[in-house]
Structure 1
Amino acid sequence: MVLTQPLYRRWRSQTFAEVVGQEHVTRTLRNSVRSGRIHHAYLFAGPRGTGKTSTGRILAKAVNCLALTSDGEPCNRCAICVEMNEGRSLDLIEIDAASNRKIEHIRDLREAVRLAPVTARYKVYIIDEVHMLTTEAANALLKTLEEPPPQVVFILATTELHRVPATIASRCQRFLFRRIPPAAARARLETICQAEGIEIAPQTLDLIVNLSGGSLRDAENLLDQLVAHFGPTIDHEAARELLGYVEDSRALEVVQAVFAGDIPHALRLVNAVREDGYDLRQFNREVIGHLRSVLLLAYGLEDEVEAGPSTVEVLRPLAEVADPQTLAGLIRTFNGVNFGTDPGWPLPLELAVVEAGRLLGSPAGRPEPSAASRPEASASPITPADVLPRRDQAPPVPAGATPPTAETPLTMPEPPVPAPVGEIPPDFKQQLAEALRARGSDGRKVAGLLEWCEGVEADGNRLTFVFSNRLFRDKAADPLSRRVLDQTVRKLTGRRYELEFEVRTEDRAARLERARADPVVRLLEEEFGGEVLDVR
């Protein structure tokens, strides 16, 4: 049996131009090599799988290449480049600082750097994970790093720049590697698939890119895993199941249910995901990703949202009514979920869902508003003239009556008789929502809040908007929304009301009864031997 090289090694970048997503680094290094301004020590820092070691190898070839191109690229054809590509060069030494971290290893290195290169112009040392060196070893490296022999170049790489001693970092030229952008990673995978004869659906490539987290090496390894399992033709659904990926729909439904206050439905979704055998940790990451998208949309940063257009349209209404501070609390809650050693145990995620409901002020068991209770978008906008006549408008002349002339002076009409005190039309909330939408962008936001309003009550000159969720009550009661509502109500009814906003929930006995009947609560009582004393 012949072992084949994995894709990430077979497709390792061999020139600066092939390095994906790090143009700000490769451009500087090419200019440095082309101009002959070679520094004695470089520090490459960034997440895993972003090309740090590969760039170090390319730099080692470039500074020693016998036929350097005009734009500072190694030729990959001369004897030096071929030796380094095949791993035979004695002048390219790679050291893993995680396993060679002691002071005696650095002492051996200090002795070795005194020796002249065997065939190349420079002897290049690539020290990977340099932050793993002990304090004594790092101190022993300082003098050599500051004043190395003229024929030596050091390239240090790390995934944790904050752990590299400042005394070492200050002696190097620092280059920060970024996570690979999704579009660049996808383009690279498409190139590999085309060259390797792999048939794969576009949505499967998107799935691989999402799971890689900005690491091209991880993306190439996932593709390699799928090829090993399915062969050159990869089915999307089978690939999704193999990788343990949960579809966006259920993670998105959890976010919607939490915002709607339907905590039981969100808990049922979590348990359904568990019963289907999916990875709850990955599912939780998807929920966090959607909450992050809502946060970015709330601040108007749609370009930074890593989601499809259909998902953005679903999340946009939530962003319009959500408070950024509450969103930050929700993200912290789900980000703090710790599954421990059992990623299939749903309790940590269930507790996060319940806590999210508490942050949003949702009473346990609140059902999601039905479509029938929401305003119909197809109704025609209501204008003030449809409800009450204008105060400066003369009353209509009855049939057979003589219209006023100059000889019969026009008398000022009596003010219109207002509707009986405490009475508003049964469909007043729908009329108000339509009038708000006709107002413009500020009105549409408030109209979205009314979708979560349980009802509007009139008592004398007081108009009360009733909510069952504290988050939406607070957004409706803020000064901007209150001003828009006040102006629209006055325009719609012809009278000025004092606006009030209330949150009404079930009484204590009903809340206790509903909570004690909940299957998750019963499970928690059996597991910990507790008792429900109150629901707030």
Structure 2
Amino acid sequence: MPYLKGNVHFYLRIYEPVMSQALYRKYRPQGWAEVIGQSHVVQTLRNAIVGNRVGHAYLFAGPRGTGKTTVARLLAKAVNCLDPEPANRPCNACDCCQAVNENRFLDLIEMDAASQTGVEEVRDLRDKINFTPTQGKYKVYIIDEVHMFSTSAFNALLKTLEEPPPHAIFILATTEIHKIPATVLSRCQRHEFRRVPVNEIVTQLKRIVEGEHFEADEEALNLIARQAAGGMRDAISLLDQLASTGGKITLELAHTVLGTATSQTVLDVIDAIRDAQPAAGLEAIQKAVDSGTDPRTLARQIVDYLRALMFFRFGNDAQVEVTKEIAACMAEHAKAFTSSEILRMIKAFNAAAMDTRGWQPSLGLELALAEVMQRPSPAPQTSPAADPSPQPTSRPQPAAVPPPTPRPAAVKSTESTPTSLPETASPPHSQAHHLPSAPEPMAQTPGNTEIELAQIVKAWKQVGQVAKSADPNLIGLLNTGTPLEVRQGTLYLGFSSQLLIEKMEKPERIEITRRALRKVLGVDLAIKCVVFGGKAPPADIVPGGMVAAALENGGEIVDVQ
């Protein structure tokens, strides 16, 4: 800029501050083909534009960073695009498309419901909506985080949302759809946005790295994609943060900046649990925390690894996206733990991931490790077979009485025929010390038939779980049956109807139940099924006594002195 001072001309150069644009804004999709991971939404909207069936109100719901606002802007461009071919809209070449791209399109109104929650803002919108569009064919209102509206604001919007002017289109976006009133949901076309898969996030990050001439390891990009938890915007923002360091984006740099632990730390913790070495597990956790890893982030990483082990145990290892080396470790660990052990560990470390105690950040993680190391206490079970010596009792046991005489047509005795019971293969354990999931069953004694009814009643649910592995439908029958009496090596089961007895008396089911009793309680009993209409006596009532007989004949306990 020249100006004159005396006879000398001076030139001033004015420097305007230039700010770099965030990568997630620079690489925001400008066309339908660039939207990643939301093909079900994109296809529906494109068909609506081609068929001239655009609705007056849309509701986009889904996690953050999955493209709700981006797709809303694309829809606003498409409905106002001047391209004569509907399939080419938006064209990004006409005046309306370029105005939207440059944020100067007057007929695109974006509202942030998080900062404009009151009814006054909605009333102002309602008063101005009747004005015709200035530049385009439609006036598009994008209301982001619409769940933040107050109840009065929603009520003020209802009538306008139901019957807007012909030139108005509403696009509501939210991350918490459960907070949207049903009256609003019923007035909108609802589209659910999904989390973007890890492989698609990595592919997009590679395109950005090539376009920006960055240097990045593929392992680092995979870590960024997993940390983003399905959010494309979060992934690009993390890449932008790592690129600001100025050097090559390596896996070590990503761990340091993001505060995550290395994969070896997670493997060391799982190895310590498998080998029952709590000291090694605590040492691995302490090293990770001392190096700057957030304990809750480490707990989430352990949960992700255990979740993958659960997939391996269930035969869904194809759904786990890891390297070949990690997959080999997962396959080995999956064999070392049972499904119940993995579920118990997931629950413990998931609680640590949500722990908010701040005075000792690693306490929740350490408690989770101690909890999974603790052996579950087995339920006390005693039987004459396990301990032949007589035990002193506080009161004499009544003499054994025969079971109640049933009606001839309602009682059916089932003599079991030996059939083969499918044996369930237990997962091999690579170490001598492993995490037990249930107490060891009693040692089986061939021919042992002496056991108290109270013991069978107490272990009946466990018997059903063991039988379920061979016949999934059998556990339902056992739950409807009631152990009534054990006499002379025979267990009498009571059922409420003859139909249930006919289902239970199949020889293979009788044999499966006998095997389950042998496995859980170590006794070999014959089984007879009878029709029984009463309820099972409580555990502290002596079977065969006066109170038990009264309960079997329809009586009930009303008071205990």
Identity among equivalent pairs (%): 40
Counterparts of 1:50 and 1:188 in 2: how far apart (Å)?
13
- Aligned counterpart, 2:35: 19
Q: Give the alignment partner of residue 174 of structure 1, picking from 167, 190, 199.
A: 190
TM-score normalised by L of structure 1: 0.68
**Following TM superposition, by how much is the alpha carbon of 1:248 offset from its aligned partner in structure 2, in angstroms?**
1.0
- Could you say which residue in structure 1 is the equivalent of 2:346? 331
SS in 2 for 1:125: strand
TM-score, normalised by the number of residues in structure 2:
0.65
Contact 1:293–1:306 (Cα < 8 Å) also in 2: no
- Out of 221, 225, 237, which is 1:221 matched to? 237
Write the deviation string for residues 50-81 of structure 1: whole angstroms up to 9, x where unpaired.
00000000000001100155535300110111
Q: Distance in 2 between matches of 1:64 and 1:100?
A: 26
Return the match for 1:85 from 81, 101, 106. 101
Matches of 1:354 and 1:317, distance apart in 2: 23
Give 2:428's aligned residue: 448
Which deviates further from its counterpart, 267-276 or 51-60?
A: 267-276
Q: CA deviation at 1:325?
A: 4.1
Distance in 1 (CA, whole Å) between partners of 2:72 and 2:96 is 15
Counterparts of residues 369-380 of structure 1 (less than 5 Å)? none
Instruction: Out of 147-156 and 305-314, give the one that drifted further.
Output: 305-314
Query: Which residue number in structure 2 is paired with residue 352 of structure 1?
Result: 368
Relative to 1, partners in 2 of residues 1:148 and 1:448: Cα closer, same or farther, differing over 3 Å? same
Amino acid at match of 1:470: P
Partner Cα separation in structure 1 for residue 332 and residue 50 of structure 2: 53
Q: Does 1:246 align with 2:212?
A: no
> Residue 116 of structure 1 is aligned with which of 124, 132, 137?
132
Verify the 8 A CA contact 1:279 1:343 in the aligned structure 2: no
Structure 1 residues 16, 259: CA separation in 2 closer, same or farther (over 3 Å shift)? same
Partner residue of 2:200?
184
Residue identity matched to 1:314 = C
CA distance in 2, matches of 1:340, 1:83: 47
Give the aligned residue type for 1:259: R
For 1:447 and 1:161, locate their aligned partners in 2 and report how far apart those are by CA, in whole Å.
43
Q: 2:297 aligns with which of 282, 285, 291?
A: 282
Unaligned stretches of 5+ residues in structure 2: 1-16, 379-422, 444-464, 471-517, 523-561
Which residue of 434, 437, 444 maps to 1:471?
437
**How far did 1:127 drift?**
0.4
Distance 1:361-1:469 versus aligned 2 partners, 3 A rule:
farther
Select the residue among 246, 261, 281 that pairs with 1:230.
246
CA RMSD of aligned residues (A): 3.0
Matching of residues 94-105 of structure 1 within 5 Å: 94-105=110-121
> Secondary structure in 2 aligned to 1:208?
helix
Quote the offset at 1:308 in angstroms.
Answer: 2.7
Uncovered stretches (5+) of structure 1, i.e. residues with no partner:
363-441, 455-467, 484-497, 503-536
Q: Which amino acid aligns with 2:95?
A: A
1:26-175 correspondence runs (5 A): 26-67=42-83, 69-175=85-191
1:313 correspondence with 2:296: no
1:195 and 2:211 are equivalent in the alignment: yes
Distance 2:158 2:363 in 1: 50
| 4+ runs deviating over 4 angstroms | 359-362, 451-454, 472-480, 498-502
Residues 243/151 of structure 1: CA separation in 2 closer, same or farther (3 Å cut):
same
What letter corresponds to residue 277 of structure 2 in structure 1? D
User: Greater helix share, 1 or 2?
Assistant: 1
Q: 1:298 aligns with which of 313, 317, 335?
A: 313
Please tell me whether residue 207 in structure 1 is matched to residue 187 in structure 2. Answer: no
For 1:252 and 1:132, locate their aligned partners in 2 and report how far apart those are by CA, in whole Å.
42
**Cα distance, 1:249–1:273 mapped onto 2, change above 3 Å:** same
CA shift in 2, pair 1:473/1:161, >3 Å = same
How far apart, in 1, do the equivalents of 2:28 and 2:231 lie?
A: 13
User: How far is the alpha carbon of 1:239 from its aligned partner?
Assistant: 3.2
Partner residue of 1:376? none
Q: Distance in 2 between matches of 1:254 and 1:88?
A: 55
Aligned residue type for 2:350 = N
Give the count of matched residue pairs.
394
1:334 Cα deviation after fit: 1.3
Looking at structure 2, the residues matched to 112 and 3 of structure 1 have their Cα atoms a distance apart, in angstroms, of 34
Q: Using the alignment, how far apart are the partners of 2:244 and 2:46 within structure 1?
A: 37
- Whole-angstrom distance in 2 between the partners of 1:452 and 1:3: 58
Instruction: Output the CA distance in 2 between the equivalents of 1:140 and 1:266.
Output: 58
Q: Residue 333 of structure 1: CA displacement? A: 1.7
Describe the superposition over 1:335-366 as per-residue Cα deviations: whole angstroms up to 9, x where unpaired: 1124436497211110111112236679xxxx
For the 8 Å contact 1:66–1:80, the answer to whether it is kept is yes
Letter in 2 for 1:30: R
